[in-house]
Structure 1
């Protein structure tokens, strides 16, 4: 058991706020940690401790993105790529020693067949997926210049370095070093051109997908679980105005995790 009394706070991080997913394991963990260290109101947070899996971490980052408060995740889910190991011992010291990684999300601007514009932010990736029995037909432009007149595929995605080990990696896209100022543009089950494996783009690049024959070959767009059906165009670019601050135990940050994933 830790020696700290209830209400003890890390010197460098300020008051702790504990947030948890709705799973039993996460809720029990929150109860245990609150009993040991207290729990501050979100408005007073110096650091947020998120208890759950990667999905809950993404929810927490989206929900708190305007607060400029670092988030330290502890795994009470499954994979936990964005999380640290769960341990109740000496949490203030762990928070004080934690190393910070700053992530910029992708801004998605999708226009549907009715002319409605939908906007969302995605920390991992923005993906386009066919929504019918036939393959999608996409035209791809980078910074206003058409780079591929037609990609026939099940879909395509743009991934950040943090998201490069998620859906992007499953689609055979590259794993990107966390400090790299690049994005991955990856096709999903490309039919034509068959040998196209995608591209690495500068982080500042603006990517536009135009859906060809949208009525016959419907496409949906998704950014971190936020879906838009029947899109005719989707624009994607990194939003440097939004900063997500993630904390990791020394030696277990995103750079180490990204390297480790490639030798698994």
Structure 2
């Protein structure tokens, strides 16, 4: 079995589970590990992946759910961990790269594993220009917001906003409006993950907009460009009977 590091969230359930696993299995510090077992919810798993990207040392992660939804996690079970890891199916996902420019001229770059969202900051709707590739596809989108989601994130906020579910490995991104007012009948698009998407806030002072990449927010943005970052490969491991591709596919039949 590969050298494992154990990480857990700050919740009482995750801490208790960590104590159980610490007593049963051998662990090494994160700097010496070949893979990570993460205990918590989806938010903790995303934070673990972001931390690894920041350190430029990315390891496969096997998550066990001690949170709420746990869509990106496996079931909690302290037994036979070595056998589970040997049988696990691995899925590689690439994050989004976001480059935002604020009204003050500050440039912020960050990554998102699930989605990049643009959201109105006040009671007034956002006015956005949307460019896909080199073409302005929507000169004026009036809405509460809009998001770009990866396949891994297509069942999260994107699905709640009535966006499409994207199969893992589809090389596609979901471009989904949030409460669109104009054009009323536009419900979004599916685009190649090789195509950049750019948003320009048409009235950033009167109608301020924030950009959120997973859990990181940049306020008062003027332009936001989103691209898939194929230079980064994140590996998630799953029990074969509850693998990520099957979970995403079955979400299409939930009623």
Deviation at 1:69, TM superposition (A): 1.3
Deviation at 1:179, TM superposition (A): 1.5
| Aligned equivalent of 1:174, options 164, 175, 185 | 164
| Aligned equivalent of 2:34, options 34, 41, 46 | 46
Deviation at 1:38, TM superposition (A): 2.2
The aligned residue for residue 209 of structure 1 is: 199
1:102 equivalent to 2:85? Answer no
Q: Describe how 1:98-247 pairs up with structure 2 within 5 A.
A: 98-247=88-237
Deviation at 1:200, TM superposition (A): 0.5
**Conservation of the 8 A alpha-carbon contact between 2:49 and 2:58:** no
- For residues 152 and 190 of structure 2, the distance between their equivalents in structure 1, rounded to whole angstroms, comes to 14
The aligned residue for residue 251 of structure 2 is: 261
Deviation at 1:197, TM superposition (A): 0.4
- For residues 105 and 83 of structure 2, the distance between their equivalents in structure 1, rounded to whole angstroms, comes to 52
Cα deviation digits, residues 133-158 of structure 1 (max 9, x gap): 11000000111221110000000000
The aligned residue for residue 12 of structure 2 is: 24
**Matched length:** 252
Cα deviation digits, residues 229-248 of structure 1 (max 9, x gap): 00000000000111110000
What 5-or-longer segments of structure 2 have no aligned partner? none
Deviation at 1:225, TM superposition (A): 1.1
1:33 equivalent to 2:21? Answer yes
Tell me the C-alpha RMSD between the 2 structures. Answer: 0.8
- For residues 215 and 60 of structure 2, the distance between their equivalents in structure 1, rounded to whole angstroms, comes to 22
The aligned residue for residue 67 of structure 1 is: 57
- For residues 178 and 5 of structure 2, the distance between their equivalents in structure 1, rounded to whole angstroms, comes to 39
